[in-house]
Every structure is written in structure tokens, then in C-alpha cells.
Structure 1
Amino acid sequence: MRILFLFVGEKHHVFHALPIAGEMAARYPDLDIEIAIAGPENDALVRDVLNCFPGFTPTIRYLDLPGPADALHKWGVLRGQQRITRLIAALPYLRGFDAIVVPERTTTMIRHFLGSRTKLIFTPHGAGDRAITYDKRDRLFDFALVAGEKSERRMLELGTIRPGAYAVTGYVKMDFMQRLAAHRPPLFDNGRPTVLYAPHFRSSLSSWDRFGKAIIRAFAAQDRYNLVVAPHIRLFDHAPARVTAPIEAMAVPGKIIVDLSSERLVDMTYTAGADIYLGDVSSQVYEFLNRPRPCVFLNAHDADWPDNPDYLFWTLGDVVSSVADVLPAIDAAAERHPLYAARQCQILSDSIGGDPTGASARSADAILHFLEEKAKAGRKAASR
């Protein structure tokens, strides 16, 4: 059986799916597993994963853009269209697999061109609360992995998954990151608590445009906390230096880290190393809550959030609506954390399926069970 793990989206998707391939190879050594990635920009993250699975040396293929399309992409003409262009160009290659595992939904656009042999399998790249997590394109997958019971309930209600065509397996990225966290040095060496500010990338939801620079200036003017500014990697994706350089210049050595583009934005370095979370609607809060800790949330758009399931994570800490309230809320966060700690554990368990340990192995088993059942059904139908 040939199985492809396909990565044509943002590089942070790698940690949400590739550990499944490593576990699959260890548990089912007779499988033919390959990896296809958009280009060399994903190499480092792919190697980070493969290094944790000794003996797993899969074929890795770049899905290059066709010549004219590559030129248009370099000129900025195809921005936003590279994924589907790569997929269409790679169709003869993709049709050669029994299953393709993907952590994004653009691949569903070629679903009907793959043929009945090739099963398309989805693994999520987050466990957030917002409605964007629940996408009607999920219906086009033959099989889906679901992080936790919260997502299972909402996806069944919305009809984006079907009974018998999914499995609740846990949060793969968090499972994998537990292997790496123990070897990381502290973010700062001054003994002060560290606050992680992690704004969302979408301007209609993010706190960055309204509060971002003012928050950095407020932390620069005090000496009680360190600050890490680590937005979702898409916030400044493709931003020119004239935009990013003045923000990066606001960093203060030994006190404020401003990271707008490094791999540490996606490998849980900051969510694992901080003491207090400051954010808006990013699902990164669930990665931070792998260990329950104080949270403060920013309502930058006057959202009417109580009782709205898209803002469930705002019930896990205090919510403020102005920069002036940020530091007082941070000062009170540790003392107020007992008010939220039990709920953090409850919501986290519901979101990622409890203890994430073993999520990659459970996902590998679920995928193989589904494929074997489909193969048996096919053989039975052929024998009639």
C-alpha cells in the first residue's frame, strides 16, 4: 500500500501531520510511505520530525511549479494560487497512491481528478473554537482525523464529517512537541515571568492593528515581565522589510523578543516557554494550555462574545478591551488563575482528546484501519 503525506500549504502544517507518518512507518514497516512538499522552505521542519524517528527515511519529493507558473509566482502574480497550480501539475504523481494525507483543504479541489483508488484523508492543523475550524470542504474527504470531542460534536452538527468516516485521535502536534520540549533552554535568564503575546493573523479578528505596538511599548516601560511577541506565522507572511523592520527594532535584548518569521513560531518554543498567555482568537492558546497557566484575552473588536462558541477560549482567563488594562490584568493573572484552572483542564481535554500522548500513533492506526476496511469492501464487491 502506498501512502503520501502531502504538504502544499504553510510550513507550520508539517508538525500536524508528519509525526503520523513516522509512527505509521514504525508500526507498519511494509507500507510504502512518501512525503511531498512544496519546496525547500519546508526542509528544516521536515528534518526536525524525521530526526525523531530513527530509521524512517522516506522518499521526499518537491512539487515544483511548472516553468511559466514558477516565473509568475516569483513576480508575485500567482500569490495565493500556488497550491492549486502545484496540485494540478502533480496529478499523474498523486494518482499513484492509495491514500493521501493532508493537513489543509485546498487539496479537495482536485478530489474528483484523483480517481476512486486514491483516498483523501484530512488531519487538522489546530483545535480552535472559531467557525473557520469547521469547513464544508471537510465533507469531500474520504476520512478525517478529529482532535477532540468538542470538534467532533460541532462537525457532526454541521455535517462536515460523517459517522464511520472519521476518528477522534488527539492533537498530533502537541503529542510530537512533548518529545522536544524537555531539551529547550529558558527563553530568558533573568528570573522574571515571561508573557507570550500571540495575535491572530486575520485583521478582522486580530488585536495587532489596534493594540500590538502599544503593548510592546507598555512592556518596554516596565521591569516586572519579559515579553515575547510571536504572532501567527501568517500575520507577516510576505510582508516587506519596510513593514517588519520597525517592529523588529522594538525588541529589547534580555527583555523583549520580537519574532515575526522564524521556525520558533510553529514549533511551540514560545507556547512551552512562557508563563502567561496574552492573545485574541488564535488557537495557539490550546498549545499553551498543554500546561494550564494564566491567560489574558484581548477584545480588540468589541465582540459580543459571552455564550458564543467561537469564543469559548475567552472563558479561560480575564478579557480586556484596552491597552491600559493589559498590564493590570497581567499583574492579577497569577492570583486569578485558580478561578480558571479547572475549566482550562476541562476545555483542553474536550478540545484535544485528553492527554495528547500517543495521538500520532492513534492517528496512524485509525488511518490504516480505515484503508483496510475499504480494501476488504472492495474485494468483497469484486467477488460478487
Structure 2
Amino acid sequence: MPRIRASTPLAAQAAPLPRVAFLFNAQAHQILHGITVAEQLAWGWQANVDILSASVDHLTLARRLTAPDSHCLLRFNLIGSSALRRTAAAIGSVVPPKVLTLFEARRRLNAYDAIALPERTSTIMRGLGVRRPRLIHLDHGAGDRAAGFDPRIARFDFALIAGEKQRRRMLADGLIRTGAHAVVGYPKFEAADRSRRDGWAPFADARPIILYNPHFSKELGSWRSHGAEIVRRIAEDGRFNLIVAPHVRLCDNRKRRAAFLEMLEPVAHLPNVHIDPGSDRSIDMSYTMMADLYLGDVSSQIYEFLRTPRPCLFINGNGRPWRDDPDHAHWRFGPVMEDAALILRAIDHAIDTHADFAAGQRQGFIDTFDLDEGESHSRRAAAAIAAFLRLQPRI
């Protein structure tokens, strides 16, 4: 077919398609909060959609989480230099340094019409000269911790939100504006459902499964103060299978992973203990779907666990007052304990009293996630982005 010269009337009518980037500049768990949205946007609207990351592994995961027939519309592009990747490898980090990656990619990023991203640190790109694209905040996690209501969210031009709980608090805090946000549900559910392997089980028997999911926060998490004793007592008791799968940021470099695994070495060989310092299963809801009881502190994964209401037990690792604290609103979904020596009694109590918490769990889930049966959350999110950017639908 002969090429159309740029000077012909037909070429003059064909404006270039808007360029939209989905930037994944942090740990792999954030990919699941946006990758199926990118896929739906590429399928449904006239735009060039690129997936950007400084990590080869992240791009591999992104390809795996998208349908093969979308790959003719999506481009998966590595950003940042090989020197930054060597730096990350030298310290055992899962991702190259964020800010240096943005600095190296600043001219490339500035060529986009919009950049969608699930974390706030990268808004620093504005100060690096990336001023042209509109920034779109992809909700990553729907918990209660104050960090989920980061003041930097106000820097975004548009924000996607999982449900009414977040919308109320973000509006009250001045983080979002009327007409510049959309409640779209939780696209991660779809990405996670696509990722999980049916039939996989970490244990050979059918004992009840406890998921211990400590957060990385030194101030709010339970790992440093209670973790080793809790794991030891549950493992030695023998009535339960125990999955220890912390928030991935607890083990996101070589030093942290080594410290985590060293603390668990006395029980690592036991058949009723499964330790996961950060595999894909720790981010695709494999464990929150299979567990019979959730044991944790302030991770937003509690709400993913409540997709099916089940017993929960929370650890107040620092003895802080929490009852009227909105950052701990999820602690109303089960008993709260402070003494690691009483963990077994607390587990039994959480199981025995679950009926007292089940209705609250269901209501908390509904308030957190605006989910319409049969409606794709990823499609809703893509449609909201398309409306904001005034993209034309594909014919």
C-alpha cells in the first residue's frame, strides 16, 4: 500500500491519537490496581496507551495480567537506564530508585497527554519539568490508614476512587474536587482474579488457615513488636495452618528480606507454616481468598479479605488508643488484642464471636467498594478516564 504523504488533505485530517501512559514506578502490588484499566482503555477508546516501568519484571507481570489480544493495542516500555537497574540489583531492591527514574525519563514523560499512576511520590515529576500531561490518580488499596489519604492526592488532575468511604473522607480533607474524580469500584479484583491459579494450595492437609498479614509501618504495624512470638505460638500449637505474608514493602530489599526470614527461621521448616516474603501470590489475593481467619494490623488487605466475611483478629502492637480513630476504623470488624502471649486465646475468641461482627463486615465492604454486580470495575475506571480526557470511542 502506498504511503500517504503528510501534505495530502487526508493526512491533514488525521490528528494524532492522544497518548496515555500508565506508570508503575513502585512495587509490583501496585500494577494490579491499574493494568486492567489500561487494557480496557486501549480496547474501548481511541488513544495510544503505554505501560511504563523501570523494572523488567514489572513489565513481564503486566503482560501476564493482560489478555494477549490487547497486546496489539498496548505498548510495554522500559524506562530508566540500565545503570539504575544495576543499582537496584546491587542492594537487592525490587525497583530502581523512583526519583532518579523520573529524572531520567522526564522528557519522555512530558510527551504524554496524560499519565495514570497508583502512587504519590511520582508527582514530584512536576518539579522535574513534566508539566504537559494531566496526572490521574489510580486508587491503590482502600484501607483506613492516614497514608491512604495523602495530601499529595490533591496534586492530581483527576482521581479514581473505590467507593463512598474514600470519597467522603477525601472530599472532607480537600484531596479531591467535585467534577475531578469518579467512584469506579475496585479494578484490582479483576486483575487478581485473572492472576490466581485455581487449585494451588500451600499445605498438604485441611487444617483451618490463618493469614498473618503484618504491615510494614514501624509505628502502626505489629511485626517488630509481636510478629516472631505470634508466629511461634500459632505454629507450635498445631491446630492451624499459618500463612505469613506481610505487606510486600516489609521485604522490598535484600536487607529487609534477610531480617524477616531470619526471624522466622525457627519455624520455617514446619509443615503447617508457609512463608511468603513477596511472591505474586502475596499480591493477587491468593491468601486472602483461601484463609479462614485474617490476623493483621493496618493493611488495606483486610478489605480484600472481607470480599467473603470471615473471622478477623487485629493486633495493637503499640498499645495506642484506637476506638475513635478513623485510621483504625477496620478494627471494628473483629476483636483487638495487645498481648502476644494470649494469641491462641484471642484466635479462639475471634472464631467464636464472628457472628457479632459479620453484619458490620458486610456493611464495611459495601461502603468501601462501589460494586455493581455484572459490571466491570476496570471498564468503569477506563470510561471515567476517557470522559475526563474526552477520548473518542473505538468504532
Conservation of the 8 A alpha-carbon contact between 2:54 and 2:96: no
The aligned residue for residue 338 of structure 1 is 355
Structure 2 length-normalised TM: 0.87
Name the CA shift for 1:23/1:300 in 2 (closer, same or farther; >3 Å).
Answer: same
| CA deviation string 1:245-290 (max 9, x = no partner) | 4235322443110111322211111111111000011111011111
The aligned residue for residue 161 of structure 2 is 146
Which of 222, 240, 259 is the aligned partner of 2:276?
259
Asked if 1:359 is matched to 2:374, the reply is no
Conservation of the 8 A alpha-carbon contact between 1:259 and 1:265: yes
Conservation of the 8 A alpha-carbon contact between 1:181 and 1:272: no
The structural deviation recorded for 1:56 is: 3.0
Conservation of the 8 A alpha-carbon contact between 1:349 and 1:355: no
Among all aligned residue pairs of Structure 1 and Structure 2, give the percentage whose two residues are the same amino acid.
38
* Separation of aligned partners in 2, 1:267 and 1:36: 20
Conservation of the 8 A alpha-carbon contact between 2:371 and 2:377: no
RMSD: 2.4
The structural deviation recorded for 1:355 is: 4.9
Name the CA shift for 1:169/1:133 in 2 (closer, same or farther; >3 Å).
Answer: same
* Separation of aligned partners in 1, 2:36 and 2:270: 34
Alignment of 1:39-58 (within 5 A): 39-50=55-66, 52=67, 54-57=69-72, 58=74
The structural deviation recorded for 1:39 is: 1.5
Aligned residue pairs total 370
Conservation of the 8 A alpha-carbon contact between 1:111 and 1:140: no
| CA deviation string 1:76-124 (max 9, x = no partner) | 5x999821111121122112211111011122112262334x2110112
The aligned residue for residue 178 of structure 1 is 193
Alignment of 1:1-384 (within 5 A): 1-28=18-45, 30-50=46-66, 52=67, 54-57=69-72, 58-65=74-81, 67=83, 82-111=97-126, 113-116=129-132, 118-181=133-196, 183-240=198-255, 242-249=258-265, 250-355=267-372, 358-372=376-390
Runs of 4+ with >6 A deviation: 78-81
Name the CA shift for 1:102/1:329 in 2 (closer, same or farther; >3 Å).
Answer: same
* Separation of aligned partners in 1, 2:98 and 2:80: 10
Conservation of the 8 A alpha-carbon contact between 2:42 and 2:70: no
Q: Secondary structure at the match of 1:277?
A: strand
* Separation of aligned partners in 1, 2:106 and 2:95: 19
Gaps of 5+ in 1: 376-384
Gaps of 5+ in 2: 1-17
Name the CA shift for 1:221/1:101 in 2 (closer, same or farther; >3 Å).
Answer: same
Which residue identity lines up with residue 388 of structure 2 in the other structure?
F
* Separation of aligned partners in 2, 1:79 and 1:338: 41
Q: Secondary structure at the match of 1:60?
A: strand
Name the CA shift for 1:335/1:71 in 2 (closer, same or farther; >3 Å).
Answer: closer
